[in-house]
Amino acid sequence: MDRAGLDTARVAKMIDHSLLRPELTARDVLEGCALAARYDVASVCVKPVDVARAARELSGTDVLVGTVVGFPHGSSTTAVKVAEARTALADGARELDMVLDIGRLRGGEDRAVAEDVRAVVEAAREGDALVKVVFENAYLTDEEKIRACRLSAEAGADYVKTSTGFAPGGATLADVRLMRAHVPERVKVKAAGGVRTLDLLLEMVEAGAERFGATATAAILDDLAGRTAR
């Protein structure tokens, strides 16, 4: 994707405003939802316990509610991940960022990884929700990332995502390019972890990312608005 023509409204709809830090209070979540509504971003990504609260707060807006599944290590059983997905949907979530089973991927248990993803995708379809599969690239080799791309796409994922934002490293341009090159066109790439400036976001757009997890949402969009107003 080229950065040409990316105005503030369009870039806002590429951002999932992240509200996942463990210390966030109910007040913090409500303030984050208000910010997301003010900037009209794509979604908020909240902890499972906050989904119902966020859905109430954002009712009547165009901002979707997303949440995480198997977060942050991907080590929950498939049954638990499916239960998390269904509970989130019932609470109002419409986007699910699930962490794949990192250990099984690294161990070469491809069938188990694919079945885990597919089960969550099937649960998500019951509520017409999107699924983004989080790889946690800081722990993976390029070969493992490529396998994760193939397995996620075959299992029906809508997005592949670089990172949770809670590992030693986050999104990199090299990883975004690698992931874009190894998923079919229908599967999109989400960059998360360390995307804190407009310039980096725009570079990642050129590398192939179409969605971003961000906590610096206001700073990024205010910067773009200031540049386009000149």
Show which residues are catalytic. 97, 161, 190
Angle ∠(214,183,103) on CA atoms, nearest 5? 70
Structure token pair of residue 192: 């998360």
Instruction: Answer yes or no: are the C-beta atoms of 176 and 191 closer than 8 Å.
Output: yes
Q: Give Cβ neighbours of residue 55 (< 8 Å, ≥ 6 apart).
A: 65, 91, 92, 93
Could you give the dihedral angle defined by the CA atoms of residues 158, 164, 169 and 174, in that order, rounded to the nearest 10 degrees? 10
Tally of CA atoms within 13 A in the half-sphere of 38 that contains its CB = 10
C-alpha–C-alpha distance, residues 47 and 68, integer Å: 6
C-alpha 160/C-alpha 162 separation (Å) is 7
